[in-house]
Structure 1
Amino acid sequence: MARPRLLRRCLLTALSAVLAGSAMVATPAHADSPHVSSSEVSATATFSDTFDGPAGAPVDSTKWRLETGDNVNNHERQYYTSSTRNAALDGQGHLVITARRENPANYQCWYGTCQYTSARLNTSGKFAAQYGHVEARMKIPRGQGMWPAFWMLGNDFGYEPGKVPWPDAGEIDIMENVGYEPSTIHGTIHGPGYSGTGGIGAAYTLPGGRAFADDFHTFAIDWAPDSITWSVDGVVYQRRTPADLGGKKWVFNKPFFLILNLAVGGDWPGDPNGSTQFPAQLVVDSVSVTTSNAPTGRPIRGLAGKCVDVAGANPANGTPVQLYDCNGTAAQQWTFAPDGSLRALGKCLDVKDHGTADGSPVQLWDCSGNPNQKWVLSSGHDIVNPQANKCLDVTENNPANGTRLQIWTCTGGANQKWTVG
């Protein structure tokens, strides 16, 4: 569960008033394979911004709107402005959101005269998504009191008639960081009965004591009906479904819009101190939302009309993947993710021990981005692991429930043919 914090409810009257990628290109099988006729399984980018433009230019106003004002709900210290001093392109393909210790226009905040300025952008009224792969590649700032975030609000959010207030409208925090935890980010959902400090989520910590501010990282969710899966640099660290809510309402099967911001201070991160350096910058390389044109979150049917199945619906690492009667459960709902992986239960279809030999079994494992977790759906209905140049195969052509799946030299046999959906 994410570190406690107060409401992330929208701070601005202005926002309430206006509320009325990396594409997946599947790797072809080796050209010398006579059995695999590969086709690209690509993604449709429903939203993409790579922030190209001259240094000092504002963000694309057809994609983003800038919010202005302060935020009493979280007791943040900044005043969000629409100035390019706080949000501008750097001329090198980045958006730079800059927090400054200044008050050039005598801005007034909830605590008196504002001490800081920064920026918050959203796509409300311009773009909203329902399901898909949502990601941002960013380098976050360091320093006590810094609070960068990439998140989403339900598109029906608002406080005027006909709108849904926070938290009932739903919030998906794809990435939040508080400056006193330089190696850790948080992913959280908020909704009716599980908001603020009761939000449901998890943390991800970089190995080896590395800080997120040292380099760019990709923060993402894979979002499908009744499930949201979080990852950092392709490594999955949590999955949430209605089963995690203890009977409370799941409010995430509808459109949401995107938000990027850099807050200064607040109840969760605490205020800046003498060690905090300004200006502080959140550098955003790209933001994208993609939906695969391969079916997502669907069964994969093969020999005797049976399905690719995670044994016992067990999400533990090393769980066998098998053939079983199709039953519509989550253990048989597979997603072709934009990184080329094939996912179910928040984990990846994995060739055990990085095997490339005929008969290497497949299993469920934490997503790592390694070649033994890459798959191509070919035009010939093969599912191919390009590293081994071999096909997903039903062992010994046996249609019985529980038959283990493996990789094998592609033969064109019925035990290697798969239909998605």
Structure 2
Amino acid sequence: MRRARPLRRRLLVAAVAAVTLAASLVLPAPAGPAQAAIGGITWQDEFNAPAGTPVDQSRWRFDIGGHGWGNNERQYYTNSTSNAVHDGQGNLVITARRENPANYQCHYGRCEYTSARLLTAATFTQAYGRFEARIKIPRGQGIWPAFWMLGNDMGSVGWPAAGEIDIMENIGREPNTVYGTIHGPGYSGGGGITGSRTLGQPLADAFHTYRVDWEPNSIIWYLDGVEYHRVDPGRLGGNRWVFDHPFFMILNVAVGGNWPGYPDASTLFPQQMLVDYVRVSGYTSGGGTTTRIRGQHSGRCIDIPGANPVEGAKLQIWDCNTTAAQAWTFASDGTVRAMGKCMDPAWAGTANGTEVNLVSCNGNPAQRFTLNAAGDLVNLNANRCVDVRDWVSTNGGRLQLWDCTGGANQKWSRA
């Protein structure tokens, strides 16, 4: 991201030939619907306790202190119900207050503010899945709310080697903008891999849902169900991907710091962040399962022309059937296989318009694909989506790689 954070937190032509071969290539039974990549809820807090009820410490614990948290922040984090409590209306309220009791000592002297920072490090960690919260953020210059995650090996490898996934960050001077970022070795602090979305009104005016869908080799960010950022190992410039182990969650409101700057005369206190819920869903890879891959726009399936697995066969869409030409296996190595060969971008290409063909499996990272929870069939090496060229919806439409746009000609499902 655009700030230095040394320790801070710590998203697949011939019709006659195809028909002729179909009888000898029919599978024993049609592929049934595969499990979605995102499974059922594995952890949640709905914050429905009566007003004044403290945080449920079977779910959350507190970070406490005022040492600046690696960013020259000005708040002292407490475990007091003055700073984190249920409001009796279905929300957790995290409150930042202007106060500096003598017993709240900060790295620069007496703290000027108090707030709360809740985490699940001791109560819940998970690798992969969906992490979502519905939040009404606070506002004001120098106010820095966040919903984020850190690797559970922080204590042994430190930051940024443990990895950090910022699901939601906002800084008060940019009231309409949400940021989503990852930090890791070689891409931390101001070099984090970040994306943002800006609305036409301040985020603090209403509740919004902030979420990541995290799968092996893919993290995607959403604001109110709309994707705005994605990352995969191809985005790291050769640096190490460290998002392959359990992480824990954090909710906090910071006051001041290197990135947001500091409160000024326009900043009103107290400031409150209301959290309606936090929900986590599991991840089901579907690895090794054989399935058809159906296009949303055409209703047709990714197909090997003429059911002939010749080297370099140009993949197409065709009426869905039960032949081996449409029986794709999502293998554990990230390849997508049918009739003994792999889906492949021509000549390991990464540019828009690269043909998607069938080639012998060769171990090249260019043959790694993932079908994510949003229905994008992404080539991880190119960070581009499998797309039906020119929005063709009839039999024979050819496949290519293209920038992921969210268009229906790029949306796929297991069928």
Provide the TM-score with structure 2 as the length reference.
0.70
Distance change in 2, residues 1:287/1:240 (3 Å): same
Q: CA deviation at 1:196?
A: 2.9
- Determine if contact 2:2/2:189 at 8 Å carries over to the other structure: no
**Corresponding residue number in structure 2 for 1:49:** 45
Would you say the 8 A contact 2:35–2:284 is kept in 1? no
Counterparts of residues 239-258 of structure 1 (less than 5 Å):
239-241=231-233, 244-246=236-238, 248-258=239-249
* 2:413 paired residue among 357, 365, 376: 376
For the structure 1 residues 341 and 273, does the alpha-carbon distance in structure 2 shift closer, same or farther, using more than 3 Å as the test?
Answer: same
Q: Evaluate the alpha carbon distance shift between residue 182 and residue 334 of structure 1 in structure 2; reply closer, same or farther with a 3 A threshold.
A: same
User: Contact (CA 8 Å) 2:41, 2:279: kept in 1 or not?
Assistant: no
Matched, 1:211 2:202: yes
**Partner-residue secondary structure (3-state), 2:193:** strand
CA distance in 2, matches of 1:59, 1:366: 43
1:155 maps to which of 145, 152, 155: 152
Pairs aligned (count): 346
Alignment partner of 1:71 is 2:62: no
Q: Which runs of 5+ in 2 are unaligned?
A: 11-29, 288-329
Aligned pairs (5 A) from 1:96-245: 96-103=93-100, 106-158=103-155, 163-197=156-190, 199-206=191-198, 209-232=200-223, 233-241=225-233, 244-245=236-237
* Corresponding residue number in structure 2 for 1:6: 5
Residue in structure 1 matching 2:340, options 305, 329, 338 = 305
Post-superposition offset of 1:244: 2.0
- 8 A Cα contact 1:53 1:91, kept in partner: yes
The CA distance in 2 between the partners of 1:317 and 1:206, in whole Å, is 26
Q: Does 1:294 align with 2:286?
A: yes
When Rg is computed on C-alpha atoms for both structures, the one with the higher figure is 2
Give, in whole Å, the separation in 2 of the partners of 1:101 and 1:71.
17
Deviation of 1:354 after TM superposition, in Å, equals: 6.4
| 1:309–1:283 CA distance, 2 compared to 1 (3 A) | farther
Q: What corresponds to 1:383 in structure 2?
A: none
* Cα distance change on mapping 1:37 and 1:242 into 2, 3 Å: closer
In the other structure, the counterpart of 1:89 is 86
Query: Retained in 2: the 8 A contact 1:242–1:249?
Result: no
SS at match of 1:100: strand
Q: Which residue of 1 aligns with 2:18?
A: none
The alignment status of 1:278 with 2:269, answered yes or no, reads yes
Q: Distance in 2 between matches of 1:288 and 1:243?
A: 26
Whether 1:59 aligns to 2:59 is: no
Q: Which runs of 5+ in 1 are unaligned?
A: 12-34, 379-421
Instruction: Measure the CA separation in 1 of the matches of 2:48 and 2:386.
Output: 36
Question: Which residue in the other structure is 1:338 paired with?
Answer: 373
Residue 174 of structure 1 contacts residue 187 of structure 1 at CA under 8 Å; is this kept in 2? Answer: yes
Q: In 2, distance between residues paired with 1:353 and 1:183?
A: 35
User: Measured at CA, do residues 195 and 300 of structure 1 come closer, stay the same or move farther in structure 2, by a change above 3 Å?
Assistant: closer
Residues 187, 166 of structure 1: alpha-carbon distance in 2 compared, 3 angstrom cutoff: same
Distance in 2 between residues matched to 1:123 and 1:357, nearest whole Å: 50
Question: Using the alignment, how far apart are the partners of 2:414 and 2:107 within structure 1?
Answer: 55
Q: Distance in 1 between matches of 2:80 and 2:386?
A: 47
Are the structure 2 counterparts of residues 40 and 188 from structure 1 closer, same or farther at C-alpha, using a change threshold of 3 Å?
closer
Alpha-carbon distance, 1:257 to partner: 1.7
